[in-house]
Amino acid sequence: MIEQLEEHFEVSRAEAEALRLLADGLTDDEIAGRLTISVAAIRSRLHEFYDRAGIHGRRAVAWAKGHVACCLAEPPRAA
């Protein structure tokens, strides 16, 4: 799953992990707890990604939720 995010969005593993948890609806504090790093580190990872993607603020969260979910959706199975 993380590998799909890394490849699809050209992000680091750390950014991919944070994006996946963000898309799952976790707050920065919850993501930091899950990844056992500081909230400042989470915010830095996400903001670096947002800057590269040209998205900011609440739009960034909505974007991440939609695009990460789309990237992780299983492709249709062949009949």
pLDDT in tens, 53-65: 777 766 666 666 6
**pLDDT score of 10 more than 70:** yes
Tally of CB atoms within 10 A around 20: 20
**To the nearest whole percent, how much of the chain has pLDDT over 70?**
58
**Would you say domain 2-72 falls under CATH 1.10.10.10?**
yes
Over residues 69-74, the mean pLDDT reads 60
> Looking at residue 75, what DSSP letter applies?
P
- The Cα 62–Cα 45 span in angstroms is 17
Over residues 14-37, the mean pLDDT reads 88
- The Cα 11–Cα 8 span in angstroms is 8
- Measured CA to CA in angstroms, residue 13 lies from 27, 35, 57, 59, 77 at distances of 19, 12, 22, 22, 27
Would you kindly state where each structural domain of the chain is located, as residue ranges? 2-72
Q: What is the mean pLDDT of the chain?
A: 76
